[in-house]
Amino acid sequence: MSHSTSEIRKPRPRMQESPSRGSLYNKVARFILPFQNYPSAIKGSTTYRKVAGILNLPFAGLGSILLGEIEVGLGLFAAYGLLGFLFVYVIQCLSTGFISISGFDAFVVLAIILFGFLSCWYGSFSKNTSDLLRLQKGKKLKGSYLVALFLTTKNNADNFFSRYREQFRISPSRVKSRMIYSWFIMGVGIMFYDHLLKGIFLLAAQILYLSYMIAVGASDLLGLFTLHQEGIASNETMVYGTVALAITVAFVLCYCSSMKTLVDSIELSNEGKRGPGVKGELSLVINEKFYVTGLIVPILGAIAFTVIPIFFMVLVAFTDYTKVDGAGTFPNPLADQYLNWVGFETFFRLFGSAQNLADMLKVFSWTMIWAILATFTCYFGGLFLAMLLNKKSIKGKVIYRSLLVISMALPQFVSLLVMRTLFVNNGPINQLLNDWGWIEWMQNNGWISEYDSFVNFWGTPSLAKTLIILINMWVGIPYYMLLMSGLLINIPKDYYEAATIEGANGRQTFTKITMPYIIYMTAPALITSFVSNINNFNVIWFLTGNADGKADDTDILITWLYKITMKSVPDYNFGAAIGIIMFIVSASVSLIVFHRSNSFKNEEEFR
């Protein structure tokens, strides 16, 4: 076999910077795509849809409502209006001097609110444009769940009630009677169609629910609305009422499942098919639908220990759990001092008081800055160390990794208290600075007062915040270093070999192979870390916490909430209002970012 000289000496092709899915070019193109499609979406629509598309521009979510997607539209419209109101309100408070916070804190708060406002508008605009284009192609939208359940429309002719009405019309009298008494006795109707076990379960659930409601449930539900039950403290009434409400919701879901199963079974029976039977139902529970069986206990645990406490916290914010008068605040959960519903009075106190609003904005801005810095410094610090220790030329990797993991093996609160002690006014760090002459040098250069013989690390906001970030890196980087080390080892070597053959340099290999792979695999962990840092009580409290009840410069929302509820005169409903804000921020960020990440969209890609 022979080759020409030109073929032998032909240079290897270099790796091209072609736009990939994750490239900046494609991201910008996807961002402006709704703006490019909007004119054609409006031009090719009917008059009614044109009106919906035009009204959606100033009022985000309104177009979705007019096109029939009521729940989504209402959610977008509410978020858009709330964020717009907050942005204008904060600007007015700052301009009139109603609140006084640092310029940087004000900038951070306004930037976050404005970003949320514009993101909500863009999301609504993008969805409305794509919906109009889908309708032009004759495709259906998902529509409203409530409308699909209760009403029959042109776009939804197969909802439950229309199916029920059709089957009732064509069925013989014995089937009609089953369909009628199934409204009142759960599970009996489906037993005639070989759903014996499910029917028995639903019938037992109805008997137990009715017995519970007759015994205490009805009284507990009534107490939830009145908060006045003789001899029972109102806070206990709220808990019992919340449990009764959760049981009622579960019963309603079982009731809907019973009626849906009945209609499905009748339709199958008309086609000559039967239900699964006892053996088939057991097989479904053990095999095909074992995931339902296995999730029962975790879901019940999540409802009992997460959903119900959160709902109770929400309720507390709308009561006078802590009454406020001219003499101050005092707790009021006693049986002879019943609580009352006060509506949004607590939130008016939070946003309507200059001091409370200033504290809220100051704490919220630092919370977001802290969460971002704490997450990404540890993330990229761990990646840097993992890549460094992954080099073949590094000797003694086991020793280095072991030393870095020691901070993880030691209880975190011990590490944090040690670091706090090191930087106190008369601590070892200040002693060293004094012995080395740095204290005198700082006095001479005006860095500290000439009367101070130490650096007030924890009393100076900028120094304290810097130390918090650095100490958190020392505590958090080893975890990410171990995580990244495992991921780097699992990246297929063929990718790097192919990149080398194509002439890729180190930067291209890192940006095109290593980083996309790492981000894809760690996106859920990164989101979890960000949300955890929003609620990272330990680092902030053990380093700078005090029980004075005031919002300090280094407080985040969780530590401020702790101070409010644990001070000598706790303000529980005020703390509950802050807890609601924390929950909304954490849940919104985690859900939105996760659903938009490639880890969620392309779950099967790396399997």
Express each pLDDT in 214-250 by its tens digit: 999 999 999 999 888 877 888 888 889 999 999 999 9
Residues 344-353: contacts with CB within 8 Å, 24+ apart?
Answer: 344/318, 345/320, 346/317, 346/318, 346/573, 346/574, 346/576, 346/577, 347/317, 347/577, 349/324, 349/574, 350/574, 350/577, 350/578, 351/89
Lowest mean pLDDT across 295-299, 348-352, 576-580: 348-352
Cα–Cα dist 39/341, whole Å: 50
pLDDT tens-digit readout, 410-443? 788 888 888 899 998 888 988 888 888 888 888 8
Give the pLDDT confidence score for residue 467 in this predicted structure: 93
Provide mean pLDDT across the span 128-142.
87
pLDDT in tens, 35-87: 998 999 898 888 888 999 999 999 999 998 988 888 888 988 998 998 899 88
Residue type, 597: S
Residue range 507-532: average pLDDT?
Answer: 85
> Is the four-CA dihedral 459, 463, 464, 467 of positive or negative sign?
negative
pLDDT attached to residue 410: 79
- Domains in the chain (CATH in brackets) are 24-150 (no CATH), 160-343 (no CATH), 348-423+458-601 (1.10.3720.10)
Counting DSSP H helices and E strands in the chain, the numbers are 30, 2
